[in-house]
């Protein structure tokens, strides 16, 4: 932790704190923000979580969800006032301000306001006075838990806070399945359960709260949108704009679909390419040593983790698919000969 003593001193008196996740926050981003907010409230700080975009409805169960401010649902002036009055800005689950656009403009407009950054992604830029950044961490929620312990406040983790932390850890490890699942992660989960956390409750809320449209979209993707290239150990989905419109796709409805491609026997690299009209968003997953973070960063202006990353393009979906197909052919040697 960079400058822990300085952060502890700042938090020794009541502060006005705004907490930002990245665009389209997932369970780790939102769960980390909610957990940090609940913790800071117990220390008599005034907190506001501000999301740059909407987030999946299956995360609405999180404690104090109705208090989360969504940028698109407020005026620019309202958000500007909240941030300008803050005495601490917290940036969670991203390590470069552009991941939170349009909220990154507020960070730039308030250069004198101290910033706490907590994250586990590569590509960090130096913009925060206080940093808890560890790319070996499985989830940002893991680091929020670490911070609470570093500040000697484990006793302030109540059930709602534990639920938010567990949601982040559970989803970013794919229910403790990914290689980032360490012994430490299991010990944190056990500690939260020893505090009284009902882990099955969080599992049900995140994974068993699907809308009918989401299930029908999944069925369509599996039956009509999947390409399998076993010769390249690759499988990928292409969802066109007509597909997302047909099933009235909401934020989070496509989350996790890419993992079905990766679950196919003999597949080590999986992708989903989704056409939203104004841009194509992509998620990449891999097993073994093929770095999808490098793939996303080098070709699609993205990034992420070694085995889980994302990118985007403003080119038409047809051109993006063509480029992707050419790229996996160019990487044939890595995809077919790299030890898994």
Q: Which of 190, 207, 224 is the last residue of a domain?
A: 207
pLDDT band of residue 338 (cuts 50, 70, 90) is: low
284: β partners? 271, 309
- Given this model, what pLDDT does residue 272 score? 98
Alpha-carbon gap, residue 69 to 186, rounded angstroms: 32
Lowest mean pLDDT among 95-104, 140-149, 311-320: 95-104
Residue 312 vs residues 75, 147, 190, 262, 297: alpha-carbon distances, Å: 27, 32, 37, 20, 10
β-strand 69-70 against 88-92: which pairing, if any?
A: unpaired
Same domain, 332 and 248: yes
How do residues 153-192 score in pLDDT, each as one tens digit? 999 999 999 999 999 999 999 899 888 899 999 999 999 9
130: β partners? 116
- Cα dihedral sign for 19, 23, 29, 31? positive
pLDDT at 28 exceeding the cut of 60: yes
Report whether 48 contacts 80 (CB < 8 A). no
Total of domains in the chain: 2
Same domain, 176 and 252: no
Same domain, 89 and 151: yes
Lowest mean pLDDT among 83-92, 93-102, 155-164: 93-102
Which tops the pLDDT comparison, 269 or 179? 269
Which tops the pLDDT comparison, 209 or 143? 143
pLDDT at 125 exceeding the cut of 70: yes
Alpha-carbon gap, residue 107 to 231, rounded angstroms: 47
- Given this model, what pLDDT does residue 115 score? 96
Same domain, 249 and 319: yes
Same domain, 133 and 253: no
Q: Which of 183, 207, 231 is the last residue of a domain?
A: 207
Same domain, 153 and 53: yes
Same domain, 79 and 218: no
Same domain, 30 and 159: yes
pLDDT at 104 exceeding the cut of 80: yes
- Given this model, what pLDDT does residue 108 score? 82
Same domain, 187 and 227: no
CATH number of the domain within which 288 lies = 3.10.310.30
- What is residue 67's DSSP assignment? G
β-strand 16-20 against 88-92: which pairing, if any?
A: parallel
Residue (of 192, 204, 137) closest to 166 by Cα position: 192
**pTM here?**
0.89
Mean pLDDT (the chain, rounded):
94
Q: Which of 149, 175, 207 is the last residue of a domain?
A: 207
Structural domain of residue 175, as residue ranges?
4-207
């Amino acid at each position: 932790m960079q400058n822990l003593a300085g952060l502890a001193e700042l938090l020794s008196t009541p502060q006005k704190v705004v907490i930002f996740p990245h665009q389209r926050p997932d369970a780790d981003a939102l769960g980390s923000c909610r957990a940090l907010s609940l913790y800071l409230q117990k220390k008599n700080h005034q907190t506001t979580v501000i999301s740059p975009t909407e987030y999946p409805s299956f995360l609405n169960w999180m404690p104090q969800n109705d208090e989360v401010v969504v940028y698109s649902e407020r005026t620019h002036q309202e958000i500007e006032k909240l941030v300008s009055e803050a005495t601490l800005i917290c940036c969670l689950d991203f390590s470069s301000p552009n991941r939170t656009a349009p909220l990154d403009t507020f960070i730039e407009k308030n250069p004198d306001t101290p910033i706490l950054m907590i994250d586990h992604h590569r590509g960090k830029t130096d913009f925060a006075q206080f940093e808890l950044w560890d790319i070996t961490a499985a989830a940002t929620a893991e680091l929020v838990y670490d911070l609470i312990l570093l500040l000697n406040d484990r006793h302030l983790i109540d059930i709602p806070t534990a639920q938010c932390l567990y949601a982040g850890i559970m989803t970013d490890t794919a229910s403790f399945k990914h290689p980032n699942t360490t012994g430490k992660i299991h010990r944190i989960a056990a500690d939260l359960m020893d505090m009284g956390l009902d882990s099955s409750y969080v599992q049900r809320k995140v994974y068993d709260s699907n809308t009918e449209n989401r299930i029908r979209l999944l069925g369509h993707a599996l039956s009509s949108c999947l390409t399998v290239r076993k010769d390249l150990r690759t499988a990928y989905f292409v969802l066109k704009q007509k597909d997302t419109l047909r099933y009235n796709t909401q934020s989070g409805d496509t989350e996790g679909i890419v993992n079905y491609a990766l679950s196919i026997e003999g597949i080590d690299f999986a992708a989903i390419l989704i056409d939203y009209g104004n841009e194509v968003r992509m998620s990449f997953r891999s097993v073994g040593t093929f770095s999808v973070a490098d793939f996303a960063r080098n070709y699609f202006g993205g990034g992420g983790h070694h085995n889980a990353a994302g990118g985007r393009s403003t080119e038409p979906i047809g051109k993006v698919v063509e480029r992707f197909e050419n790229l996996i052919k160019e990487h044939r040697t890595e995809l077919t000969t790299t030890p898994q």
